[in-house]
Amino acid sequence: MEIGEGSFYNTLKSKKELYLKCLQRYDDNVLSTRRHALLSAPTAAAGIRAFFSLVLDCLDDPRTPSRLCMIAAMVDEEVPSEPDLRKWLRTLWKV
């Protein structure tokens, strides 16, 4: 990407901050739509169908850059043990 190290760290301060910003963008653009589909349906069954319909439609979309959900990738044991990432997850899921 030809971004100088100084420019990177002047803008983002750390790789962890970049990761958190990526997670926030993912939440804003992907997860919020899925949450809305799940929670706004008239019944739990309809919400679950709507949620998984969005997930499955994404798998068929050639514009989808990855088959792996960023949040699923966070299940790794090391990620939730990191305080800032754990805080972000708790805020996201309101736990």
pTM over 0.95: no
Spatial distance between the Cα atoms of 38 and 30, rounded to a whole number of angstroms: 13
72 confidence band (pLDDT: 50, 70, 90) = low
Q: Where are the domains of the chain?
A: 5-93
Top-ranked range on mean pLDDT: pick from 6-10, 55-59, 70-74? 55-59
Residue 5 has pLDDT above 70, yes or no: no
Residue 37's pLDDT is what?
95
Q: Which of 16-25, 59-68, 72-81 has the lowest mean pLDDT?
A: 72-81
Spatial distance between the Cα atoms of 15 and 9, rounded to a whole number of angstroms: 8
